[in-house]
């Protein structure tokens, strides 16, 4: 019998967990006989009753496994911990807030089996009850990422997906500290197929992804998979040099005052661009620094049913 681990990161989801486990149990019962199904909950340093609720469910259910972090390490890290602690034939990454419906996991398994795919990713047809700002920024980010990076990451997707053990084994050989799993999955080059679905609104509670966290995730994606921001600096420097030469020549022709103000404006613009360029280089250096420290990506406080 093949094995399936459903990996769920959890951070302050006490209002969702009972319902989430109820719906996961329905999926498990439906797959029983064909797959041995386990749930791996990764508690990412929750400060509410999430861990307590999970432990209560796990007492008489050995298939409910829990990894508890010593503090909050982040969503991508929690997913990564689930992958590292799974040896199943198939793994499904899904959030605990029920925006992504667990019921389509069976369809993902069928797609993987029928189309001989190593990755089945959820493609959102509709994003219910999300702000226009989030929708627009997500739309723009995926297109910018596709232009900047040399990997073919599907647009309008999240972390909700099914992967095979072969994919997980490949990911474990990638030691970078700043994980951007969507990009890492695409980089492996394994056969990926979409499964279209409508994304629901959160069952309860509020999103844990603040604007700062979203920006960091976006930056991790770009700076981990593209060197084009550095090449942009070179292009900008060449463009400014040509502008400066043209302005100098033009200034001598029409008089000192215009020349003075034009050069002043150009100097200020160049100064701003220099700071921007230093910031871009700093982002790459920070990631080199993070990897050179060789600290663990996360610290496990406790495990249940492992």
**In the block, which residue shows the tokens 């406080």?**
301
Which class for 45: exposed (0-12), middle (13-18), buried (19 or more C-beta within 10 A)?
buried
pLDDT band (50, 70, 90) for residue 178? confident
The reported pTM is: 0.80
**Whole-number pLDDT of residue 6:** 98
pLDDT at 104 over 70: yes
pLDDT at 173 over 80: yes
Per-residue pLDDT, averaged over 174-184, amounts to 87
Per-residue pLDDT, averaged over 233-251, amounts to 72
Residue 102 and residue 106: Cα distance in Å, rounded?
A: 8
Q: For 243-253, write each residue's pLDDT tens digit.
A: 766 766 666 66
Widest Cα–Cα separation across the chain: 87
pLDDT at 208 over 60: no
**Whole-number pLDDT of residue 197:** 87
Portion of the chain with pLDDT greater than 70, in percent: 84
**Whole-number pLDDT of residue 203:** 52
For the four alpha carbons of 121, 85, 8 and 5, in that order, the dihedral sign comes to: positive
**Whole-number pLDDT of residue 210:** 60
pLDDT band (50, 70, 90) for residue 291? confident
pLDDT band (50, 70, 90) for residue 288? confident
pLDDT at 238 over 90: no
* Parallel, antiparallel or unpaired: strands 157-164 and 119-127: antiparallel
Portion of the chain with pLDDT greater than 90, in percent: 49
pLDDT band (50, 70, 90) for residue 273? confident
**Whole-number pLDDT of residue 103:** 94
Structural element, H or E, at residue 68: strand 64-69
**In the block, which residue shows the tokens 């997500």?**
138
Distance in Å from the first CA to the final CA of the chain: 20
**Whole-number pLDDT of residue 150:** 74
Q: Which of 42-56, 67-81, 220-234 has the lowest mean pLDDT?
A: 220-234
**Whole-number pLDDT of residue 253:** 62
pLDDT at 52 over 80: yes
Query: 122, 112, 93, 121: which is closest to 199 by C-alpha?
Result: 122
Question: 2-206+296-304: which CATH number, 3.20.20.150, 3.90.550.10, 3.40.220.10, 3.30.70.380?
Answer: 3.90.550.10
**Whole-number pLDDT of residue 237:** 75
Q: Domain segments of the chain: what residues?
A: 2-206+296-304, 228-293
**Whole-number pLDDT of residue 255:** 59
Task: Give the long-range contacts of residues 176-179, CB within 8 A, separation 24 or more.
Answer: 176/224, 176/287, 176/291, 177/287, 177/290, 177/291, 177/293, 177/295, 177/297, 178/220, 178/223, 178/224, 178/287, 178/290, 179/76, 179/77, 179/79, 179/80, 179/220, 179/297
Average pLDDT, the chain: 85
Count of alpha carbons within 13 angstroms of residue 142, beta-carbon side:
16
């Amino acid at each position: 019998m093949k094995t399936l681990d459903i990996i769920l990161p959890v951070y302050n989801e006490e209002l969702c967990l009972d319902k989430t486990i109820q719906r996961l149990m329905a999926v498990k019962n439906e797959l029983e006989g064909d797959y041995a199904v386990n749930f791996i909950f990764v508690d990412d340093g929750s400060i509410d009753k999430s861990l307590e609720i999970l432990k209560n469910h796990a007492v008489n259910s050995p298939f409910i496994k829990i990894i508890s972090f010593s503090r909050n390490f982040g969503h991508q890290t929690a997913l990564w911990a689930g992958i590292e602690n799974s040896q199943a034939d198939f793994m499904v990454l899904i959030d605990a807030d029920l925006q992504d419906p667990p019921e389509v996991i069976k369809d993902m398994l069928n797609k993987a089996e029928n189309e001989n795919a190593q990755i089945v990713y959820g493609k959102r047809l509709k994003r219910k009850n999300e702000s226009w700002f989030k929708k627009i920024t997500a739309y723009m980010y995926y297109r910018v990422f596709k232009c900047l990076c040399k990997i073919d990451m599907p647009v309008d997707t999240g972390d909700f997906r099914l992967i095979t053990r072969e994919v997980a084994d490949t990911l474990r050989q990638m030691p970078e500290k700043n994980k951007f799993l969507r990009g890492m999955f695409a980089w492996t080059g394994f056969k990926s197929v979409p499964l279209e679905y409508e994304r629901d609104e959160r069952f309860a509670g509020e999103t844990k992804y603040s604007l700062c966290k979203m920006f960091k995730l976006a930056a991790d994606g770009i700076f981990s998979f593209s060197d084009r921001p550095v090449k942009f600096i070179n292009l900008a420097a060449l463009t400014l040099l040509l502008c400066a030469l043209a302005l100098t020549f033009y200034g001598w022709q029409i008089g000192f005052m215009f020349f003075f103000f034009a050069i002043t404006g150009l100097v200020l613009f160049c100064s701003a661009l220099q700071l921007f360029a230093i910031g871009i280089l700093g982002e790459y250096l920070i990631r080199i620094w993070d990897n050179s420290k060789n600290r663990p990506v996360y610290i496990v406080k406790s495990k249940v049913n492992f």
